[in-house]
Amino acid sequence: MGLFDRFRRKQRPGVLRSATSTDTGHLEQWAAARRGVEAYVEPKTTVTDTTIVLVAHDGEWTRRRIDGTEGAKKLAKKLEIPIYDAGIVGYPKRMREYSRRKNQGA
C-alpha cells in the first residue's frame, strides 16, 4: 500500500455507482414504516443510474439507486405498492408540498 492510498477515493470520478443491498434495505424499511407508499422510477441519465423515489401518504419521500427498471418493478411487487414512471406521470403534488413545508421549517 502506497503512502497516499488510504486517501484515494474508493471509486474513480465519472463512474456510476450501482445500487447496493444497503439501498434496497433502506427502501424496504422506509416503506414498512409508512402508509400509502407509492414508487416513482427515475430513468438512468449520464450523471446518475436508475433511481426510485418512494412517496408516503403525507408526501414524505426518499430516493435511492435501484438496479434498473426491472429492479424497481421487483421491489414494488415485493412491497405491494403501485409503481409509476416519473418521466411520464411526474411527481405527486403532496411530495412538493411536503418539501415546501420542510424548507419553511428549516
Mean pLDDT by 10 residues, the chain (106 residues): 54 60 93 98 91 97 95 97 97 95 81
CA angle 10, 16, 21 (to 5 degrees): 75
Cα 61 from Cα 32, distance rounded (Å): 13
> What are residue 53's DSSP bridge partners?
40, 63
Beta pairing, strands 38-42 & 83-85: parallel
- Listed in sequence order, the residues at least 6 apart from 58 whose beta carbon sits closer than 8 Å to its beta carbon are 36, 94, 98
For the chain, state the CA radius of gyration.
16
Nearest CA-CA partner of 51 in 60, 38, 62: 62
- pLDDT given at position 26: 96
